[in-house]
Amino acid sequence: MPFTLAAQVSFEEDIKKSRFQAIAVPVENEQAVKDFLESNKDLSTTHQCWAWKIGHTVRFNDDGEPSGTAGRPILATIEGNELTNVLVLVNRWYGGVKLGTGGLVRAYGGCAGQCLLLAEKIELIEKKKVHFACQFNEWAIFQYELGQHNIEYLEEYTALGVRVEASLQIHQIEPLKLKIQDITRGREKLHMIEEDDHE
């Protein structure tokens, strides 16, 4: 069962006069990764190395450190903790003492690892995207239902009523299907959105 982080967490340590700061954060998609890296750009650092894993997709970046000494060890700590949907950024401020490749691997991997030890891990619950439509007079009932179950949704008002897109945990799909049939008297159905089917 994959895990992700409950919240952002950070850890700092000094290694041979270099300061290392790891920040680990849960991410839902690549856009969230870009946004986080963009908002955490720090020109005072010597290197900003990172790795992330979302589902089966992984990326890492050594940001000028010798190849394989930063991004890959950070990624190894993410995978070693059985985490996914996680980004770990490690900032380094160079202090004048070279660490060598082995030292860099230990420093980046170690700092990322310590950071992840501090993090609260939560089970990653798979969600499915769905959509359905309803009439204006039915929307209040659905709004209440979705709110009761903490379901994230987006609504779009059309000439005919309301079109709703929602992210559901697997066990929520069947009850909502029945609810839609019930409230709309079988007129509307719940439709699954395939991941690659962006309208």
Note the pLDDT tens digit of each residue in 154-198. 999 999 999 999 988 888 899 999 999 999 999 999 999 875 444
Residues 93, 161 within the same domain: no
Query: pLDDT tens, 110-167?
Result: 999 999 999 999 988 778 899 999 999 999 999 999 998 888 899 999 999 999 999 8
Residues 137, 173 within the same domain: yes
Q: Which residue has the higher pLDDT, 70 or 168?
A: 70
DSSP string, the chain: --EEESS-EEEEEEETTEEEEEEEEE-SSHHHHHHHHHHT--TT-SEEEEEEEETTEEEEE-TTSPTTSSHHHHHHHHHHTTB-SEEEEEEEE--S---HHHHHHHHHHHHHHHHHHHSPEEEPPPEEEEEEEE-HHHHHHHHHHHHHTT-EEEEEE-SSSEEEEEEEEHHHHHHHHHHHHHHTTTS---EEPPTT---
Residues 73, 147 within the same domain: no
Domain span holding position 136: 127-192
Domain boundary, last residue among 123, 153, 174: 123
Query: pLDDT tens, 25-38?
Result: 999 899 999 999 99
Residues 83, 135 within the same domain: no
Residues 39, 119 within the same domain: yes
Q: Total domain count for the chain?
A: 2
199 inside domain: no
Q: Residue 198: its pLDDT value, please?
A: 42
